[in-house]
Amino acid sequence: MNPMPLVLGIETSCDETGVGLVRDGTLLGDALASSMDEHARFGGVVPDIAARAHLHALPPMVRTALDRAGVGFGDITAVAATAGPGLATAVQIGLAAGKAYALALGVPFYGVHHLAGHAAVDALEHGPLPQRCVALIVSGGHTSLLLLGDLARDPIIHLGDTVDDAAGEAFDKVARILGLPYPGGPAIDRIAREGDPTAITFPRPMTGPHDPPYGFSFSGLKTAVARWVERHPGPVPVADVAASFQEAVADTLSRKAIAACRTHHTETLLMVGGVAANSRVRALTAQRCTATGITLRVPRPGLCTDNGAMIAAVGDLLVRADTPPSPLTLGIDPSAVLHGAMIPS
């Protein structure tokens, strides 16, 4: 048996069934199934459909990840699974499966925080995270600016969060307004390439001098798009609206993230989560980071959206930090706030 730890990671918090195998900061293999197509006609994820799909997809995804990594069940030395936040019925499947694999293999189990996974995954692509950095987590359910230390050991400090919709949620809702398919983020990203980002000046929410500098609010921006579309006579210029909306989001996110880096004297900005896959958010943030001497770390788009490697990456950090595992009595926490890498028991 290889003496190096090998962590199996399982992610089932939304509609992606993700499995990853990580050893010492290296992704050995992963596999991903999605029930996205089954939700498309409802315009959003249906929790019970997602849960049933996880149940079907998980065993074959574990098998595929093992085959791709060239290892067997006997090589696994720890199991990590998302214990929250996410859709309760969906998280439940991955957590139960993770505990069952750990019990059957006689290895420790870690119930991890989904958003810690979004941050940790970048280490698989760009090496160990710096000792300290500002992290912008932008996903379908969350938008937060954080101060990160050692992810496995230190508490996570929230500099600001969204007071209403998350950035990804705004992409999904605006896509719906524009008659684009679910999930809205990739659809807007695609069509915005044919549009003019300066066609319409949508508001940059919470960027006034008296607003919280690191707080976010995207509900008003979504409403501004809806009002503009309602009032517009004739056919809606979908590509221009998409590009202009995307520009407002990219501008707001990057401006606040860079201000946080400067105020907190951090040289690195880590940008993660599904919306970090957006081409304009990436380009504008990179451009502004270069101009201000900040190092931008952002995973490749396939690792920004939900996957199993990110959960294995957290497990790998926890194992290497000698963190005590979770009890097998750990339950799900569908609305867990991000304070650390693990979901407390």
Q: What is the pattern of x (binds ligand KG4, CB under 6 A) and - over residues 97-136? A: ----------------------------------------
CA–CA distances in Å: residue 277 to residues 140, 188, 325: 12, 12, 32
By a kind-dependent CB cut-off of 5 to 8 A, residue 122 interacts, out of ligand KG4, Zn ion, none, with none
For 275, the token pair is 């919306």
Q: Which of 34/139 has CB closer to Zn ion?
A: 139
If you search the block for the tokens 């912008």, which residue do you land on?
A: 136
Alpha-helical (H) ranges within the chain are: 36-40, 47-69, 88-105, 114-120, 122-126, 167-177, 184-192, 219-231, 238-263, 279-292, 301-304, 309-320
Q: Does 306 bind Zn ion (CB under 5 A)?
A: yes
Cis amide leading into 183 (omega within 30): yes
Distance CA 210, CA 257 (A): 17
By a kind-dependent CB cut-off of 5 to 8 A, residue 20 interacts, out of Zn ion, ligand KG4, none, with none
Distance CA 177, CA 337 (A): 30
Q: How far is the CB of 304 from Zn ion (least distance, A)?
A: 9
Q: Per CB under 6 A, which of residues 186..205 are in contact with ligand KG4? A: 186, 189
Q: Does 247 bind ligand KG4 (CB under 6 A)?
A: no
For 108, the token pair is 């420790």
Q: Which of 77/244 has CB closer to ligand KG4?
A: 244
By a kind-dependent CB cut-off of 5 to 8 A, residue 333 interacts, out of Zn ion, ligand KG4, none, with none
Q: Which of 77, 139, 217, 244 binds Zn ion (CB under 5 A)?
A: 139
Q: Does 277 bind ligand KG4 (CB under 6 A)?
A: yes
Q: Does 94 bind ligand KG4 (CB under 6 A)?
A: no
> Residue 53: CB partners within 8 Å, gap ≥ 6?
15, 17, 33, 35, 38
Rounded to the nearest 10 degrees, what angle do helices 279-292 and 238-263 cross at? 30
Q: Which of 20, 29, 94, 184 binds ligand KG4 (CB under 6 A)?
A: 184
Q: Which of 94/141 has CB closer to ligand KG4?
A: 141
Q: Does 11 bind ligand KG4 (CB under 6 A)?
A: no
The answer to whether 271 touches 300, Cβ cutoff 8 Å, is no
Q: Which of 35/305 has CB closer to ligand KG4?
A: 305
Q: Which of 156/177 has CB closer to Zn ion?
A: 156
Rounded to the nearest 10 degrees, what angle do helices 238-263 and 219-231 cross at? 160
**DSSP 8-state class, residue 309:** H
Q: Per CB under 6 A, which of residues 294..313 are in contact with ligand KG4? A: 305-306
User: Which range touches ligand KG4 (CB under 6 A), out of 45-53, 102-110, 167-175, 290-298?
Assistant: 167-175
Q: Which residues bind Zn ion (CB under 5 A)?
A: 139, 306
Q: Which residues bind ligand KG4 (CB under 6 A)?
A: 14, 139-141, 168-169, 171-172, 183-186, 189, 273-275, 277-278, 305-306
